[in-house]
């Protein structure tokens, strides 16, 4: 896919740049409220986008993140590229809010 078209899929929600933890049995990935220090909280862009893989070596590209089950289920890259048995991470913030309601 053309790079511009590929990148245009991102809707800048910033969810994939939030911190994650593996927990539970069987283990699941949980997305936490805190985020990478390089995520611009105002528009959810990356402050070091061009150098992100150098500045933060554990910053994964879309396909590596998909392979590790780190992209949220509503991410357009999941719809475009994930296998049918893809197990998305759990948004701990949304899950906690649902519990309170």
Give the footprint of ligand SF4 on this chain (CB under 6 A). 10-17, 36, 38-39, 46, 48, 52, 56, 59, 71-72, 75-77
Minimum CB separation of residue 49 from ligand SF4 in Å reads: 6
End-to-end CA distance of the chain: give it in Å, rounded: 42
Identify the three-state secondary structure at position 21. strand
Shortest distance in whole angstroms from residue 16 CB to ligand SF4: 3
Q: Smaller CB distance to ligand SF4: residue 56 or 67? A: 56
How many CB atoms neighbour CB 80 within 10 A? 12
Residue 30 or residue 72: which is nearer to ligand SF4 going by CB? 72
- Residue pair 18/33 in contact by the 8 Å Cβ criterion: yes
How many Å apart are CA 72 and CA 32, to the nearest integer? 12
Nearer to ligand SF4, 90 or 100 (CB): 90
């Amino acid at each position: 896919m053309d790079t511009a078209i590929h990148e245009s899929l991102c809707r800048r929600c910033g969810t994939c740049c939030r911190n994650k933890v593996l927990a539970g049995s069987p283990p699941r990935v949980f997305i936490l409220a805190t985020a990478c220090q390089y995520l611009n909280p105002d528009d959810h862009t990356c402050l070091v986008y061009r150098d992100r893989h150098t500045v933060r070596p554990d910053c994964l590209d879309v396909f590596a993140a998909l392979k590790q089950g780190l992209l949220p289920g509503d991410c357009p890259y999941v719809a475009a590229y994930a296998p049918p048995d893809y197990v998305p991470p759990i948004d701990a913030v949304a899950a906690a809010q649902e519990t309170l309601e």
